[in-house]
Amino acid sequence: MAPPGPSAGVRLLLLRRLLSTGTEAAAGAAAAPTAAATATATAAKAGNKGDSLALYRRLVALGRSGEGSVSRALSKWVRQGGALPVQDLVEHVKELRKYKRYGHALELMDWMVNARGTTMSHANHAIQLDLIYKVRGIEAAEAYFADLPDPAKNHRTYGALLNCYCSAKMEEKATDLYNKMVELGICSSELLFSNLMSIYMKLGRHGKVDSLFEEMKVVKNVKPSNMTCRILMTSYAQSNKIDAIEELLKEMAEKDVALGWSAYSTLASIYINAGLVEKAESALKKLEGLVGPDDGMLPFDFLISLYASVGNLSEVNRVWDVIKAKFSKVTKRSYLGMLQALYKLNDIDGMKQIYVDWESNYKFYYVRLTNMMIRGHLKLDLTEEAEALWEKAKEKGTKFDSKTCELFLDHYMGKGGMNLALNWLENMIKLPNKAGKLDQDKIHKFQKYFEEHKDADGAERFCNCLRKLGCFDGKAYESLLRTYLAAGKESYSLRQRIKNDKIGICYDIWELLNRIGDKG
Ligand SMILES: *[C@@H]1O[C@H](CO)[C@@H](O)[C@H](O)[C@H]1NC(C)=O
Ligand SMILES: *[C@@H]1O[C@H](CO)[C@@H](O)[C@H](O)[C@H]1NC(C)=O
């Protein structure tokens, strides 16, 4: 049970915006290179915050392009007079890393060091180490660490290497390194304990989690924190030791360890997973009682989500009222969480009220909220309402995302409305990160439909989508040819198109071509 961090939704939205504008800019550049170049050069000379954003857009627009693309983009940027403050570059690295573009993030760091001669801070060394591990593997990360100058071998870089060992589930190396850190006296912090405990939890070595916790308390005399308690609780939960959790809670209470609300949200979700609804509800009451004035909306978001999981609609509504009364501006994350909760509880009327409330308080739509509403309506087969919701959001300037496309695409496919499904597929391929690719079943379903309906135009449109999705092949041509044949439609260019696509003309394709009279 881990809802996204405070600003994850907002950041995601920003990235989406960057992604779409990035690609548009790239497309524009292809059509009118000089105009685009001038615009960027002007932006670059302006040397403001927009400048940094413009560079980030270019980096994002590189998509999945391979090694060398970042260096080329940066060199071009420099040639056009763009500024490159180190701080901005580090920010870009962090952003790229957050969105799992590890290769590009690493190339950017390498470029900073090799082309610009930037001296990395220790914190940046730790980031670079992590990226090297992710892109080139554990041995490369070890070699990087070994080559670091002594002062850079500090708790950060040691911690980063330990993290690599943990992710790689290399228990022995992790333990050795940990012991080394103990020797060097850079591991007294309980953060390290929680790190190690979570390794062992990932490895399924629950006994080790337990003994580390003991070691921390007894040998190292470190007072357990809510973090380590949460890990231990989760470890107990995974080995079905609910009693042990209760013992632990008692022990912590005796020792006056303040667990904080987040430990109780972990506890509640453990109870929920174990089907212990009453205990979960009492943990939720505890949670709510521990919320402090500075904790913001997050604990309430957890409460709403967890109450929805125990199926308690009246509590979900009550907590929402608390949020509305307590905070003058409710975040879109909270709105989204509330809509998700009501969706889970099948309360479409409640969802509508929340959405109307959002519309009356906010000028701009937020596509994830609209998606949730569409999903709620489609689940009940309220197709027209869902379309109307979308039309309205569109009028207000909302752009669909891959989820919107997927929802409508799947809905229409399920009902056999393949032409409507095709419209949404065509929308989907306009998106820069064509997530939710078509699986083979869906591809077959489309092809079969166009063949049976003798719809050559539809089949061509579908082929165009396949091409954009990068899954256009000989089989797709075969289906297209069969559709032409069924439609009794002639074509004298298909043979040439197949050749241009460098697709081998197998016997089936050859025969189909002959039958539709395309002798080339
Ligand atoms: C963790 O415990 C400390 C007290 O030791 C408390 O101040 C803090 O709010 C707790 N954190 C959470 C997220 O509950
Ligand atoms: C929901 O929670 C409240 C407060 O804990 C409780 O009084 C009520 O019976 C619960 N309702 C359901 C349907 O479980």
Please give the pLDDT value at position 129. Answer: 95
Q: Is the pLDDT of residue 306 over 50?
A: yes
Distance CA 269, CA 175 (A): 30
Greater confidence, 149 or 194? 149
Please give the pLDDT value at position 11. Answer: 30
Please give the pLDDT value at position 519. Answer: 59
Please give the pLDDT value at position 170. Answer: 85
pLDDT tens readout for residues 244-255? 999 998 888 888
- Residue 319: both structure tokens together: 């907590």
Q: Is the pLDDT of residue 47 over 60?
A: no
Q: Cα(387) to centroid of ligand 1, in Å?
A: 45
User: b vs e for 223-247, b when ≥16 Cβ sit within 10 Å of the residue's Cβ?
Assistant: ebbbbbbbbbbbbbbeeebeebbee
DSSP letter (8 states) at residue 365: -
pLDDT tens readout for residues 323-364? 999 999 899 999 999 999 999 999 999 999 999 999 998 877
Q: Is the pLDDT of residue 19 over 90?
A: no
Please give the pLDDT value at position 420. Answer: 95
Greater confidence, 198 or 433? 198
Question: Ligand nearest 194 Cα, by number?
Answer: 1
Q: Is the pLDDT of residue 6 over 50?
A: no
Contact 228, 262 (CB under 8 A): no
Of all protein residues, the one whose alpha carbon is nearest to atom 11 of ligand 2 is 312
Greater confidence, 58 or 137? 137
Contact 281, 306 (CB under 8 A): no
Q: Cα(242) to centroid of ligand 2, in Å?
A: 23
Per-residue confidence band for 46, with pLDDT thresholds at 50, 70 and 90: very low
Q: Is the pLDDT of residue 32 over 70?
A: no
**Predicted model pTM:** 0.69
Mean pLDDT over residues 464-480, rounded?
A: 87
pLDDT tens readout for residues 363-395? 778 899 999 999 999 999 999 999 999 999 999
Tell me, using a 6 A CB cutoff, whether residue 312 lines ligand 2.
Answer: yes
pLDDT tens readout for residues 81-130? 877 888 888 888 988 888 888 999 999 999 998 888 888 888 899 999 99
pLDDT tens readout for residues 213-222? 888 887 777 7
Distance CA 348, CA 391 (A): 19
Contacts of residue 29, defined as CB under 8 A and 6 or more positions apart, other chains included, come to 36, 37
- Please report the atom of ligand 1 found closest to the CA of residue 290: 14
User: b vs e for 187-218, b when ≥16 Cβ sit within 10 Å of the residue's Cβ?
Assistant: beebebbbbbbbbbbeeeebebbbebbeebbe
- Please report the atom of ligand 1 found closest to the CA of residue 260: 14
Tell me, using a 6 A CB cutoff, whether residue 360 lines ligand 2.
Answer: no
Of all protein residues, the one whose alpha carbon is nearest to atom 11 of ligand 1 is 260
Mean pLDDT over residues 410-420, rounded?
A: 93
Distance CA 268, CA 278 (A): 10
Mean pLDDT over residues 36-47, rounded?
A: 38
State the chain's mean pLDDT as an integer: 83
HSE toward the beta carbon, residue 187, CA cutoff 13 A: 22
- Our CA dihedral for 366, 370, 375, 377, rounded to 10 degrees, sits at 160
How many other C-beta atoms are found inside a 10 Å radius of the C-beta of residue 121? 13
Q: Token pair 């998700």 is at which residue?
A: 340
Distance CA 259, CA 242 (A): 17
* Highest-scoring range by mean pLDDT, 18-27, 176-185, 416-425: 416-425
Best residue among 190, 225, 226 to mutate for probing ligand 1, ranked by most atoms within 8 Å of CB: 226
Question: Ligand nearest 306 Cα, by number?
Answer: 2
Please give the pLDDT value at position 435. Answer: 53
Please give the pLDDT value at position 123. Answer: 85
Helices (H), 400-455: 402-414, 418-428, 440-452
Mean pLDDT over residues 165-176, rounded?
A: 84
Please give the pLDDT value at position 367. Answer: 93
Give the Cα-Cα-Cα angle 424, 430, 435 (nearest 5 degrees). Answer: 80
Contacts of residue 174, defined as CB under 8 A and 6 or more positions apart, other chains included, come to 162, 165, 166, 196, 199
Q: Cα(8) to centroid of ligand 1, in Å?
A: 21
Question: Ligand nearest 309 Cα, by number?
Answer: 2
Q: Cα(305) to centroid of ligand 1, in Å?
A: 21
Of all protein residues, the one whose alpha carbon is nearest to atom 8 of ligand 1 is 260
Tell me, using a 6 A CB cutoff, whether residue 278 lines ligand 2.
Answer: no
Tell me, using a 6 A CB cutoff, whether residue 315 lines ligand 2.
Answer: yes
Q: Is the pLDDT of residue 44 over 50?
A: no
Greater confidence, 240 or 392? 392
